[in-house]
Amino acid sequence: MKRKFEFVYQFKVTLKGVKPAVWRRFQVPDFYTFWDLHVAIQDVFGWLDYHLHEFELMNPESCAITTIGIPSDEELFDREILPGWKQGISNWFSTNNRSALYTYDFGDDWKHVVRLEKILPREEKKKYPFCVDGKRACPPEDCGGVWGYRDFLKVLKNPEHEEYEDLLNWVGGKFDPEYFDPQKVRFMDPVKRRKSAFGE
């Protein structure tokens, strides 16, 4: 049974530290949780959800920076992490509280600036979530973060480099850092993704 909703939240998410900028603009239903938003970000960028993630943003009630993600029994420094599947985005994002930091893969440490651009009435004939537009390809998984990605691109520009063939094979034979087609984005069901991730 599909959930009814009246509004959609339009976000622009930009990957920090990469130039020219890699970004995506997309719309999600107002009932989305932070887990659902995480899955949408993964899908719209082209990440493969191999690693942990977290959101950091201001609590609209306490004005303290709060972390939302996947709680762990081994949380560092007693830092509380709220479970993303229990936190609705509409309780946190508003016209007065627009921004969050989304970190994916604590090894490569990919940081994304999440910005709420608009809250819009849903369009009856449009399927949500929906990718509006974006620019440039997502870096390959496990390439070493921002600095590793820069080195990766340098090698791909030089077919004479000793690592060129190995890196090209590693990414499946081709990689165009300028390519992105919003029409080819496919959003996964966040409920199914959670069941798969946690064996529920």
Predicted confidence (pLDDT) at residue 77 exceeds the cutoff of 70: no
Q: State the total domains in the chain.
A: 2
State residue 102's pLDDT score: 99
Give pLDDT tens digits for 166-190: 999 999 999 999 999 999 999 999 9
Categorize the per-residue pLDDT at 79 as very low, low, confident or very high, splitting at 50, 70 and 90: confident
Residue 145 and residue 46 share a domain = no
Give pLDDT tens digits for 27-37: 999 999 999 99
State residue 49's pLDDT score: 96
Give pLDDT tens digits for 101-139: 999 999 999 999 999 999 999 999 999 999 999 999 999
Residue range of the domain that includes 164: 140-178
Give pLDDT tens digits for 51-74: 999 999 999 989 899 999 999 876
How confident is the prediction for the chain on average, in pLDDT?
94
Dist CA 58 CA 143 (whole Å): 31
Residue 83 and residue 171 share a domain = no
| pTM of the predicted protein model | 0.95
Dist CA 56 CA 146 (whole Å): 20
Residue 70 and residue 32 share a domain = yes
Residue 25 and residue 97 share a domain = yes
Q: Are 78 and 67 in contact (CB under 8 A)?
A: no
Q: Does residue 44 belong to any structural domain of this protein?
A: yes
Dist CA 36 CA 25 (whole Å): 16
Residue 157 and residue 62 share a domain = no
Of 35, 76, 32, nearest to 55 by C-alpha is 35
Residue 153 and residue 123 share a domain = no
Angle at 131 between CA 88 and CA 95, to 5 degrees: 45
Residue 91 and residue 188 share a domain = yes
